[in-house]
Amino acid sequence: MKKLSLFFVSLIINASVSNAHEGHWTAARPDGHAPISVMGDHMHAMGEWMVSYRFMTMDMEGLIDGSSDISPSDAATKYDIKMMGMTSPMMLPKTMTMDMHMFGSMYAISDKWTLMCMLNYLDNEMTMQNNAKMESDGIGDLKLAGLYDLARWDSGRRIHLNIGISAPTGSIDEKKSDGSILGYGMQLGSGTWDFHPAITYLAQAENYSYGAQLGGIIRTSDNDRGYTLGDRLEAALWGARKVTDSLSASLKIDYSSQEAIDGEDSALNKMMSTSNRPDHQGRDITTLGLGLNYYFQDGGLKGHRLAAEWETPLNQKVNGVQLELDSIWTLGWQYAW
């Protein structure tokens, strides 16, 4: 792990001494796209289309209280978790896997505006301390965005604005097999119309590139179950090194902060599990991501891209008691024409 990150760091640092890029920013190189976990990172030239598919899998295991490990029985005592009147950690979460299939398309209506559309299919599985399993799956919130080119310079740098909204197409009524409602983390959407603004900066030199994106999610109302997911702030910084004309390696640092839930779903039993408590939702997390992008320059697959990224937390602090994030894998395919 340490050796691997040093390899990526040295790739990128070595590269930063190479010459600056002469012309405009271009997507026609492997690192012309950001690490695959970054959304809305690049724009297209007028008339260009792109379709993409990403598979993301997130693994969580073990409980943390703020930023320290806590045993299920200590958590039950500390937060007064009860089953049938007795302190019991039985319904506290043990592990969770969240799989996401993400389908996207992009189209540039002009050189100034690129439109983007994204729909996810989620598949969640959670195991409780008593080994009971809970599952939910279905489509998430439909996201539409416009990327607006703010400025482009000769030296391979550019900056754009991301103006996105998401519609509440994902279910917030997912239930257990016994018909009772599932906790907040197992629901598929926010239940609200959300605003997703961001600003993205990109820079390219001969053999390396870097970028930064600052954005967030602002919820605009209460959902019809009586709560609002926390607003979110996200900042990402990445660098990539061209290894060959088709392959690049990247390093990314990502910080995000999501607030706790406002309001509550009154159908959830707050005594039974922290998963049912609005103040035990949301977290601050910093992750390190290592990635590879592959760009097919010619032949039958010209224009296709494949990418993979692995992310692991450097630091995380949850609100209340929650599962600890272990790792995130994102695999992607993109095709532009």
| Cβ at position 291, least distance to Cu ion in Å | 16
- Of 50 and 325, CB closest to Cu ion: 50
Please say whether the dihedral angle defined by the alpha carbons of residues 15, 17, 18 and 21, taken in this order, is positive or negative. positive
| Encoded tokens for 113 | 């505006």
- Of 14 and 26, CB closest to Cu ion: 26
| CB contact at 8 A, 104 and 115 | no
| Cβ at position 54, least distance to Cu ion in Å | 12
Contact stretch for Cu ion (CB under 5 A) within 84-92, 99-107, 168-176, 287-295:
99-107
Q: Does 106 bind Cu ion (CB under 5 A)?
A: yes
Residue 12 corresponds to which amino acid? I
| Encoded tokens for 180 | 């009772």
| Encoded tokens for 101 | 């299939």
Q: Does 108 bind Cu ion (CB under 5 A)?
A: no
Output phi, psi for 102, to 5 deg.
-115, 120
Say which residue the tokens 């995380």 belong to. 316
| Cβ at position 147, least distance to Cu ion in Å | 9
| Cβ at position 307, least distance to Cu ion in Å | 12
Identify the CA nearest to 25 among candidates 168, 212, 209: 209
| Cβ at position 24, least distance to Cu ion in Å | 17
Identify the CA nearest to 68 among candidates 59, 78, 58: 78
x-marked contacts with Cu ion along 59-98 as a string, rule CB under 5 A = ----------------------------------------
Contact stretch for Cu ion (CB under 5 A) within 73-81, 104-112, 119-127, 281-289:
104-112
- Which contiguous run of DSSP H or E holds residue 221? none
| Cβ at position 336, least distance to Cu ion in Å | 6
x-marked contacts with Cu ion along 29-58 as a string, rule CB under 5 A = ---------------------x--------
Distances (CA, A) of 313 to 10, 128, 274: 21, 23, 22
Residues near Cu ion, by CB under 5 A: 50, 106
